[in-house]
Structure 1
Amino acid sequence: MTTSVRSRVTVADRVRAGALLLGALVQVVAGGLGGSGAFGLSVGQVAQENTTVVMPVPAAFSIWGVIYAALLVLALRGVLPGQPERPVQRATGWWLVASAVLNAGWILAFSAQAVVLAQAVIVGLLVVLAVALARLTAHPADGAADRWMLHGPVALYAGWVSVATVVGAATTGTFLGAPGAGGVATVLGALVLLVTGAIAAAVVARTAGALPYAASVVWALGAIVVMGPPLAVVVAAVVALVAVVAVAVRRVLAAPRGRRVAAAFG
């Protein structure tokens, strides 16, 4: 365990912590409304109307409930005494607030069938989460609470959004008139999944929260396989999945026995 240096809490610290808690609550509400179709069609309906060869099985999207719950815990902890003024909170807080705003915006846009806008928003969300995760990597976890209630939630979120961005790009292509199935779509889908797996494996090798990040990527890739796409897409997804798992296992086992949890969660 390391002990981070804390300075005096400021008004700006409290505002940031409060904004993050509000953002976490907004995400929960927006996610529920988006799933119900309150903004137009439900997110699932829009996805099914623009299906592609890399679409995950619908049940996979239940991971959003886990992500929202984890982010709510993260935000609640962030307002507790001694937390808002921590350097790690200052380094990541506003980026996580931005992620909450972008996620809610994506739900609104996608439900309203503004699919191109939604794709632009989720790309922005991925960039914001990448920055937040990089900043967490620069601030090693200060004990188990950081691993489970800060690094873990952000990494889980970033891993899922990494694959969701790729799936969204395929959905956007179909929305714009590109074929969602067939030879070309299958080849492109397989190639994109291989590239996604390679990038995800590289992230797992060096980021904080390696295990949660890998878990959500594996969940997404496995859900694509379960959906029953063409064989080439199945093979690509399995290869990508195995690569991510192999790197995650190697990273954990390479750490000293007493440091393996730290290596897995950062």
Structure 2
Amino acid sequence: MTEAVHPRSVIPADRIRQVVVLVSLVLALAGAAVGSGAFGGTPIQNASDGALSADATPIAPAVPAFSIWSVIYLGLAACAVWQALPGRAADPRQRVLGYPVAASLLLNAAWILSVQAGLLALSVVVIAALLAVLAFAFAVCVRTRGKGWVEAVLVDGVIGLYLGWVCVATAANISAVLVAAGFTGWGVPADLWAVVVVGVAGAVGVALAMAGRGRIAPSLSLCWGLVWLGVARLNGEPHSVPAATSAFITVAIVILATILCRAAAVTRSRRS
């Protein structure tokens, strides 16, 4: 059951929230620019001695996978501008989502800075917090109803896309930190560890499909990351056919789960 939103009177706190989101966007974009190597910053793939490069671990996606950040940042910018419109100030849904979105922007910038500073352990804490914030925002999107397709794309879609990618990024981040710390897998082959981690990512993807009633955005970005993980393991180092195979199979499972959950949600909606 979704709850509808109703207009309320604007209060000063609403304007403050809108400004906070916009300022957080500016800081996040500045952090992204630094993370790309601009302004003297070190590109993320080269920071921390290359711990997060595409060939650092069997869980690292190929370089083209990270082009999704351009879409996510563009979506976040559009979302931040849209929520700052006068008509959105007193929207109950934005009152709940505003600060989580701002927090996600600031945490993203903090993650970039922690990696560039070589603080890999801290980067795991930051990305875990980012994942938690996005999971909360996604839950809000699922249990509340927006106003039309524009909000569905700029809010629900962007948050879902962001969440799905961060799920993949979290797995890659944790793996990179463990490898950099000298973790050898307790004697378990690296290929098997990769298959297990990919399986966990797939389980998360299925869980998101179920919780989100078949929402496409989180599955799309999560599968995007897994596809490029598979490509990296087939065409680059470390080469791992088991990791690539499990990634492609997992993508198929997540897509199927999303389709089934979507169909079930549509059927329930028609019946009600």
TM above 0.5, one fold?
Answer: yes
Aligned to 1:170: 175
Residue 213 of structure 2 contacts residue 262 of structure 2 at CA under 8 Å; is this kept in 1? Answer: no
Alignment of 1:31 with 2:41, yes or no, is: no
The answer to whether 1:188 aligns with 2:198 is: no
- Paired residue for 1:13? 14
The answer for the alignment partner of 1:125 in structure 2 is 130
Q: Measure the CA separation in 2 of the matches of 1:34 and 1:85.
A: 35
Q: Secondary structure at the match of 1:55?
A: coil
- Give the partner amino acid of 1:168: N
1:109-164 deviations in Å (ceiling 9; x for gaps) = 11121111111100110011111111111212221111111100000000000110
TM-score, normalised by the number of residues in structure 2:
0.88
TM-score by length of 1: 0.90
Distance in 1 between residues matched to 2:8 and 2:146, nearest whole Å: 18
2:211 aligned with 1:201, yes or no?
Answer: no
Q: How many aligned positions are there?
A: 258
Distance 1:167 1:43 in 2: 13
User: How far off is 1:177 after superposition?
Assistant: 1.3
Give CA deviations for 1:218-249 in whole Å, capped at 9, x if unaligned.
10000101102412211221222111100122
What corresponds to 1:84 in structure 2? 89
Query: Is contact 2:194-2:243 (8 Å) kept?
Result: yes
Q: Is 2:131–2:163's contact at 8 Å kept on the other side of the alignment?
A: yes
Q: 1:203 to 1:48 in 2, by over 3 A?
A: farther
Q: Give the residue type in structure 1 aligned to 2:243.
A: V
Q: 1:251 aligns with which of 239, 261, 272?
A: 261
For residue 179 of structure 1, report the CA deviation from its aligned partner.
Answer: 4.4
- Report if the CA contact (8 A) 1:160-1:213 is conserved: yes
The corresponding residue for 1:264 is: none
C-alpha change, 1:209 and 1:149, in structure 2 (3 Å) is farther
Corresponding residue for 1:58?
63
Deviation of the 1:2 alpha carbon: 8.6
Q: Which moved more, 1:72-81 or 1:131-140?
A: 131-140
Give the Cα separation in 2 of the matches to 1:47 and 1:56. Answer: 17
- Are 2:56 and 1:46 equivalent residues in the alignment? no
8 Å Cα contact 2:214/2:265 also seen in 1: no
**What stretches of structure 2 of length at least 5 have no aligned partner?**
234-238
Query: How far apart in 1 are the matches of 2:146 and 2:110?
Result: 30
Residues 91-112 of structure 1: CA distance to partner in whole angstroms, max 9, x if unpaired?
1111111111111000001112
Q: What is the identity, as a one-letter code, of the residue corresponding to 1:235?
A: T
Cα 1:185–1:33, aligned 2, differ >3 Å: closer, same or farther?
Answer: same
Amino acid at match of 1:237: A
> Gapped runs of 5+ residues in structure 1?
261-266
**Helix, strand or coil: the match of 1:177?**
coil
Tell me which residue corresponds to 2:246: 236
Looking at structure 2, the residues matched to 213 and 236 of structure 1 have their Cα atoms a distance apart, in angstroms, of 19
Deviation at 1:21, TM superposition (A): 1.2
Cα distance change, pair 120–165 in 1 and its aligned pair in 2 (3 A): same
Q: Which amino acid aligns with 1:161?
A: V
Deviation at 1:61, TM superposition (A): 0.6
